[in-house]
């Protein structure tokens, strides 16, 4: 059974008198131990799908349809109840690691904050866990790292710390929204390897939002292609990339320099 099952998800946002439909009948599944990649141009709704799972849809948003998380319905769940899942069972990593952290708190404080809140562990135990998790995401010198501030790390290291923060409460679902877009190719490869490892070792259901088919080609198991809030194609990685069924998918892949699509 799927960890997350999204069915006929609709999202519309009303600002003033104007209503915009951001998601239209979106359906797909996230499975444990698999990376589901969502591709699309900006404005296609790929990020909003991830945020809807997290319960972080924008103010004035109307959500309908169903997001089933291990038998629990997330659509329409009261905010307080969602708060108890977010950061614990559902976690997220964002695009820009430099703006994902508070500049004036130590890394150790920031990545244990939610752990201490949700699981009531002592500060000492939380820090010990932080050191362990930073080691797992291969942040160099984890013991010293917890005492440092975000500006003392490079972008790639900060993204590793963001992943540490995301997995510290043993989540079931990890949503990674363009996690490598701000990074150099050589650093990107390391982060993708980390994502693959975490997914396999912790049996995470990963939703990877990206515009980069190179990234999807290297780590995604399933690919979902979105356009203007609609899912136009869903399939296994290799099938979608080498033999896209939908015209839009084909145009996206062909627009990439160096990509080869069989005619």
Partner 1 sequence: MTSIDQAPAAATAHSPAAGAPLLELDSVACEYKLDGGGRFRAVNGVSLQLGRSEVLGLVGESGCGKSTLAKLICGLEKPADGTVTFDGHPVRALGLKKRAKELLGIQMVFQNPYASLNPRRRIRDQLDDALALNPDGGWTVESLLDAVDLPADSAQRYSHSFSGGQRQRIAIARALAAGPKVLVGDEPIASLDAFLQTRIARMMRDLAIDSGASMIFISHDLSVVRDIADRVAVMEAGRIVEVAPTDQIWNDPQHPYTKKLLAAIPKVDGKGIIPGSD
Query: In whole angstroms, what is the distance from residue 105 CA to residue 249 CA?
Result: 43
Provide the token pair at 116: 């201490």
**Nearest distance in Å: CB 215, partner 1:** 6
**Nearest distance in Å: CB 70, partner 1:** 27
Binding site for partner 1 (CB under 8 A): 41-42, 155, 184-190, 192-193, 196, 211-215, 217-221, 237-242, 252-253, 255-260
**Nearest distance in Å: CB 137, partner 1:** 12
Comparing CB distances to partner 1, the nearer of 108 and 244 is 244
Residues 6+ apart with CB under 8 A from 74: 52, 53, 55, 67, 68, 82, 85
**Nearest distance in Å: CB 103, partner 1:** 17
Is 252 exposed, middle or buried (CB count within 10 Å of its CB: 0-12, 13-18, 19+)? buried
Comparing CB distances to partner 1, the nearer of 15 and 41 is 41
Edge-to-edge order in the sheet of strand 72-73: 18-30, 4-15, 61-69, 72-73
**Nearest distance in Å: CB 92, partner 1:** 19
Which of 231, 196, 189 has the alpha carbon at shortest distance from 212? Answer: 189
Neighbours of 229 (CB within 10 A): 23
Comparing CB distances to partner 1, the nearer of 135 and 190 is 190
Residues 6+ apart with CB under 8 A from 224: 28, 36, 37, 38, 39, 231, 233, 234
Q: How far is CA 31 from CA 77, 80, 100, 200, in A?
A: 21, 26, 26, 11
Comparing CB distances to partner 1, the nearer of 29 and 221 is 221
Q: Is the dihedral of CA 68, 178, 22, 62 positive or negative?
A: positive
Comparing CB distances to partner 1, the nearer of 11 and 194 is 194
Query: In whole angstroms, what is the distance from residue 166 CA to residue 177 CA?
Result: 12
**Nearest distance in Å: CB 56, partner 1:** 20
Comparing CB distances to partner 1, the nearer of 65 and 190 is 190
**Nearest distance in Å: CB 194, partner 1:** 9
Q: How far is CA 60 from CA 11, 16, 241, 252, in A?
A: 10, 10, 36, 32
Comparing CB distances to partner 1, the nearer of 126 and 134 is 134
**Nearest distance in Å: CB 168, partner 1:** 22
Comparing CB distances to partner 1, the nearer of 119 and 218 is 218
């Amino acid at each position: 059974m799927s960890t997350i099952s999204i069915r006929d998800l609709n999202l519309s946002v009303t600002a003033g008198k104007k209503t915009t439909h951001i998601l239209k009948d979106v359906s797909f599944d996230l499975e444990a131990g698999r990376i589901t990649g969502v591709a699309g141009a900006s404005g296609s709704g790929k990020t909003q799908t991830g945020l809807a799972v997290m319960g972080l849809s924008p103010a004035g948003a109307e959500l309908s349809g169903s997001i089933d998380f291990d038998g629990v319905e997330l659509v329409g769940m009261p905010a307080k109840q969602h708060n108890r899942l977010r950061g614990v069972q559902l976690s997220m990593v964002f695009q820009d690691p430099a703006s994902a952290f508070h500049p004036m708190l130590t890394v150790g404080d920031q990545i244990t904050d939610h752990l201490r809140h949700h699981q009531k562990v002592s500060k000492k135990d939380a820090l010990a866990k932080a050191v362990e998790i930073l080691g797992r995401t291969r942040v160099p010198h984890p013991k010293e790292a917890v005492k440092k501030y975000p500006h003392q790390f490079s972008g790639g290291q900060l993204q590793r710390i963001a992943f540490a923060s995301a997995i510290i409460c043993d989540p079931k679902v990890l949503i990674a929204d363009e996690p490598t877009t701000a990074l150099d190719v050589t650093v990107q490869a390391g982060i993708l390897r980390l994502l693959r490892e975490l997914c396999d070792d912790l049996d995470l259901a990963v939703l990877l939002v990206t515009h980069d088919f190179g990234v999807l080609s290297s780590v995604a198991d399933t690919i979902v292609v979105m356009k203007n809030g609609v899912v136009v194609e869903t399939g296994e990685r290799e099938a979608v990339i080498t033999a896209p069924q939908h015209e839009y998918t084909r145009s996206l892949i062909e627009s990439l320099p160096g990509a080869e699509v069989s005619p």
